[in-house]
Amino acid sequence: MNIALHVANSEPTYQSCYDLMDAEGVDRNDIELSLPTVMALDPSTMNLVGFIGTHYQEELIIAGPMVLKDKSILLAWKLCEAYESAMRALGISQFIISVDDGNIMDLAIKRYNPPGMEYYAREGNRDFYIRRL
């Protein structure tokens, strides 16, 4: 899978992410995307094929949502790697991941139990994990 990774840095780039959320039926839940939001683009068309965003809830840094046009574990993995690199570059050593039941991240976390990931809380159909870098 060939993708170009880009960090959202303007209103039009964030709007592309909101548009993908709408197209994929992802509820915005008053989410305001913030830095870093890592976008995956098809290099041949420069169309957005997925992203992982950041938003703040009270004083917590929340990773998510992750939205993918095509449900690809490889794309999800590439986005997560780029996201963690961006967080390290910003000097952030831990953050909260918000994961909806049954989505690709939920399945991956439950199957692989990645190191540096600790269960934090549950709200409705969503689990929260602390990710330590």
Chain segment 17-35, per-residue pLDDT in tens: 999 999 999 888 788 999 9
Q: Domain coordinates of the chain in residue numbers?
A: 4-132
116, 132 Cβ separation under 8 angstroms: yes
Which of 70, 72, 64 minimizes the C-alpha distance to 49? 70
Q: In sequence order, which ranges of 24-125 are alpha helices (DSSP H)?
A: 73-89, 104-112
3, 42 Cβ separation under 8 angstroms: yes
Chain segment 49-61, per-residue pLDDT in tens: 999 999 998 888 9
**The pLDDT of residue 18:** 97
Q: Identify the helix (H) or strand (E) that includes residue 122.
A: strand 117-123
The CATH homologous superfamily of the domain defined by 4-132? Gcn5-related N-acetyltransferase (GNAT) (3.40.630.30)
**The pLDDT of residue 9:** 95
Put simply, whether the predicted model's pTM sits higher than 0.85 gets the answer yes
Q: Residue 99's pLDDT band (boundaries 50, 70, 90)?
A: confident
Structure tokens at 70: 């095509």
